Structure 1
Amino acid sequence: MSSLPHSTTLPALQQPPWADDGVVDEVERRLAGLPPLTTPGEIMMLRDRLAAVARGSALVLQGGDCVERFEESASGTVRRKVRQLYDLSALMRDRAGLPVVTVGRMAGQYAKPRTAPMERAPHGELVPSFRGEAVNSFVADLRLRTPDPWRMITAYNCARLVLDTVRETWQEGPPGLDPVFVSHELLLLPYERALRRGVATTAHLASTHFGWIGERTRDPGGAHVELMRSTGNPVGVKLGPGVTPWDALELVAMLNPERIPGRLTFIVRMGADLITEALPSIIRKVRDADAPVVWLCDPMHGNTFSTTDGIKTRSLPIILREIEQFVHVVSKNGGWPGGLHLEMTPDPVTECTPLLPGQGVPEFPDYRSACDPRLNAEQAVMAVEMFLSARAQIRKE
């Protein structure tokens, strides 16, 4: 059973506007009575692998959908996603000559933070924003967009199906590669609290292997950071361009006071125009504090823009530029560029444009994402190759 009581005292940002708190509490109680999705052994295995990255002797590839759909829980779909992860990790391993830790954005990525509470549907009606299928429907209908706590039960069941398939692939992966672990953003507090297992120093978050706290919810005094203080899972924190070196040190003090390698990952999502200015002092401050942090590059979230038609996209050249800058900035300031955090799909989608903003009129003949634009298979390879090329260049200098 969950050992973390319902908390109303700390700021809990980006929670859906549930209509009935009593129903939310009932769903949380039911989730707390369900079996854990992940095990302490699996979680500690991942933390040990991430410890090697923190020490500068391994790399990470983390990737997957912006937001998962319930309908994509079938074994064949999951296997295609896992195969993409294995292929990219094998590319990193073979080119870098280092072990690679592989983590999928899957088995729980069913909720999303949103900038605005409402959005305009294609037919013109103002409806609640889509917050992921653990909260409301992708269908832009006023009734279906009303947040429904019972969807968290469906999210649990779909995550279990996905994890079952992922574990099957552990016996089938390429030789020399570790199993694919799973991760998602730790957003819905009733869901995460209910799946906390154990007590005191043995507690773990059984909803996933690795969870991250988003840029919008990383307040050190907030409920999301407090939740992860009480668990032993490896945890990531997204760092946007507004973060200061002192913010980073406070997060280290809150989430990894014992300086355990592999416990804390900083996922940098500053944008190609800001990373060279904002990141160096943070790297140096963390380095000087002797904090064993894993540094990952998220080149997606700081580079999103909308076309004149209102379609969200990302420019591939800008994504590649941020990856290159990340490697150089981290390396030159005493850190280890640990790897990539990508929103991607094995499907041949056209969601990220090959054009620069203002260079032409982007075309999106195959746009499938339920939220933000993803790299297709070819573009994901290009992202990994840029990371590897930037590493090779640094080694020559």
Structure 2
Amino acid sequence: MAEWTKSDWRALPRVQMPEYTDQATLESVEAQLAQFPPLVFAGEARRLKAQLGAAGRGEAFLLQGGDCAEAFEQFSADAIRDTFKVMLQMAMVLTFAAKVPVVKVGRMAGQFAKPRSAPTETVDGVELPSYRGDIINELAFSEAARMPNPANMLRAYTQSSATLNFLRALSKGGYADMNKVHSWTLSFTEGEKAARFREMAGRITDALDFMRAAGINDGATDALQTVDFYTSHESLLLEYEQALTRLDTTSGNWLAGSGHMIWIGDRTRQPDGAHVNFASGVLNPIGLKCGPSMTEDDLKALLQKLNPKNEPGRLTLIARFGAGNVSEHLPRLIRCVREAGATVTWVCDPMHGNTVKSASGYKTRPFDAVLREVREFFAVHKAEGTVPGGVHFEMTGQDVTECIGGVQAVTDENLSDRYHTACDPRLNASQSLELAFLVAEELSVLHDARQSEAV
């Protein structure tokens, strides 16, 4: 069998990728990117892989969240900070409930490309190529804007570099102090509609008070002042991915230098396709979206292609079936993995299977449906005796009105107030934290059951 190279994908069938008309510019951009520093380092990717392996065993829990698609025009330090802040709050609540470390992975610093259900869209009788994310083309509905532009990759790299720089400063510079994070969370539980979460918040306060009295969190303990925060994105635009792929001299393996973790979408997971081939050759942890159309035969082939050494933390299966469909599809895939003897980390994406069009015409996601899919995910794993390893949300720290429901009671009529997403609807800060408390209730039950079994 020939040794993998980072350009092998070019000879294979590809889907959901643009056809660039300006080859000279494309080649120039790829050459420039190939000279730029990687955005992440091999040691970071290996550390994340080990932590994801722990999540697969129930010794940690993955929280993956962030934008549906990052946008050039919405880029700001405040937006990055606010999403990071909410993820820290969510992670603290989940850590307290699960009694295991929470692995924090943002859909950030690279989530620019989006697969689309149709290659074109028609408005007022005019048909143009679909918007595929800022790294490829523009949202504006004009022929010039929708033309794939290779130079957008350079801007995506620059924005990703700045985002990562800021995230590293936030995670290591004192902003992530545990006491500060919990004070933000307490303000959420002060509202009447969030009263049900007050008891858990109070217990977290008691735990922090005890540590403070014992001198544990007096500023000398890095674990209470800093966090590890990783980035991830869908590995969709393979020209960009290849250009940032670097040889890790320590291990002799190839690193996808565009992000710590990359995933393969439900539309691009063909076992003999370009996207699977590319992901198979890099050392990064790989996510694989599994929707209702995933067959057992395809899953077995993908398990072998993406993780032939059966390495813990290498492959995360991200289930996305839609509320009401989990019990039909997840058990058969769990049994398939078990029959193959494969080591994976199971994660729930309750967002993508629950997108609906509202009466007002906006694409939205009902909070109740998102929560229902999470609960179904936990219930199936309990029945199968397997480990629910994490959750994957499209969310933002901004006060948007894109998903209906939650304690804020966003309604169909509210959607137009602050509907800012360029692609799919995101949970806002309040909805994200509320969901974390509700997931924490599931994790508390799971923890208590494990403790009973241990006794």
Q: Within 1, Cα distance between the matches of 2:358 and 2:99?
A: 40
Percent identity of paired positions between Structure 1 and Structure 2? 40
Instruction: Check whether the contact 1:202–1:232 (CA below 8 A) recurs between aligned residues.
Output: yes
Q: Residue 107 of structure 1: CA displacement?
A: 0.2
Q: Which residue of 2 aligns with 1:161?
A: 162
| Letter in structure 2 aligned against 1:133 | D
Instruction: Check whether the contact 1:134–1:151 (CA below 8 A) recurs between aligned residues.
Output: yes
Q: Which residue of 2 aligns with 1:126?
A: 127
- Aligned-pair RMSD on alpha carbons? 2.1
5 Å-filtered alignment, 1:334-353, equals: 334-353=385-404
Q: Which residue of 1 aligns with 2:184?
A: none
Whether 1:294 and 2:296 are equivalent positions in the alignment is: no
Q: Which residue of 2 aligns with 1:139?
A: 140
Unaligned 5+ runs, structure 1: none
Deviates more, 1:32-41 or 1:57-66: 32-41
Instruction: Check whether the contact 1:314–1:351 (CA below 8 A) recurs between aligned residues.
Output: yes
Deviates more, 1:15-24 or 1:249-258: 15-24
Q: Which residue of the other structure, out of 182, 190, 193, is the alignment partner of 2:231?
A: 182
Deviates more, 1:331-340 or 1:346-355: 346-355
Q: Which residue of the other structure, out of 80, 86, 89, is the alignment partner of 2:91?
A: 89
Q: Which residue of 2 aligns with 1:261?
A: 312
- Where 2:414 maps in the other structure, the secondary structure is coil
Whether 1:385 and 2:426 are equivalent positions in the alignment is: no
5 Å-filtered alignment, 1:48-59, equals: 48-59=50-61
Deviates more, 1:52-61 or 1:76-85: 76-85
Q: Residue 361 of structure 1: CA displacement?
A: 5.0
Q: Deviations over 1:128-157 (max 9, x none)?
A: 221111011122222112111110111111
5 Å-filtered alignment, 1:339-378, equals: 339-354=390-405, 361-364=412-415, 365-378=417-430
Instruction: Check whether the contact 2:310–2:343 (CA below 8 A) recurs between aligned residues.
Output: yes
Q: Within 1, Cα distance between the matches of 2:109 and 2:34?
A: 17
Q: Residue 279 of structure 1: CA displacement?
A: 0.8
5 Å-filtered alignment, 1:272-283, equals: 272-283=323-334
Unaligned 5+ runs, structure 2: 178-222, 450-455
Deviates more, 1:66-75 or 1:86-95: 66-75
Greater helix share, structure number: 2
* Total equivalences in the alignment: 391
Q: Which residue of 2 aligns with 1:10?
A: 12
| Letter in structure 2 aligned against 1:41 | G
Instruction: Check whether the contact 1:72–1:78 (CA below 8 A) recurs between aligned residues.
Output: no
Instruction: Check whether the contact 1:105–1:182 (CA below 8 A) recurs between aligned residues.
Output: yes
| Letter in structure 2 aligned against 1:126 | E
Q: Within 2, Cα distance between the matches of 1:285 and 1:149?
A: 40
- Where 1:198 maps in the other structure, the secondary structure is strand
TM-score (norm 2): 0.81
CA gap of 1:396–1:37, structure 2 versus 1, over 3 A, is closer
CA gap of 1:75–1:363, structure 2 versus 1, over 3 A, is closer
CA gap of 1:29–1:202, structure 2 versus 1, over 3 A, is same
Q: Residue 179 of structure 1: CA displacement?
A: 1.3
Instruction: Check whether the contact 1:201–1:231 (CA below 8 A) recurs between aligned residues.
Output: no
Instruction: Check whether the contact 1:297–1:341 (CA below 8 A) recurs between aligned residues.
Output: yes
| Letter in structure 2 aligned against 1:107 | A
CA gap of 1:309–1:18, structure 2 versus 1, over 3 A, is farther
5 Å-filtered alignment, 1:170-249, equals: 170-171=171-172, 172=174, 173-174=176-177, 175-176=223-224, 178-198=227-247, 201-249=252-300
Instruction: Check whether the contact 1:73–1:161 (CA below 8 A) recurs between aligned residues.
Output: no
Instruction: Check whether the contact 1:112–1:131 (CA below 8 A) recurs between aligned residues.
Output: yes
Q: Within 2, Cα distance between the matches of 1:391 and 1:284?
A: 23
Instruction: Check whether the contact 2:6–2:242 (CA below 8 A) recurs between aligned residues.
Output: yes
Q: Within 2, Cα distance between the matches of 1:315 and 1:209?
A: 30
Q: Within 1, Cα distance between the matches of 2:340 and 2:382?
A: 17
TM-score (norm 1): 0.93
| Letter in structure 2 aligned against 1:276 | S
Q: Residue 125 of structure 1: CA displacement?
A: 4.2
| Letter in structure 1 aligned against 2:435 | A
Q: Residue 289 of structure 1: CA displacement?
A: 2.9
| Letter in structure 2 aligned against 1:306 | K
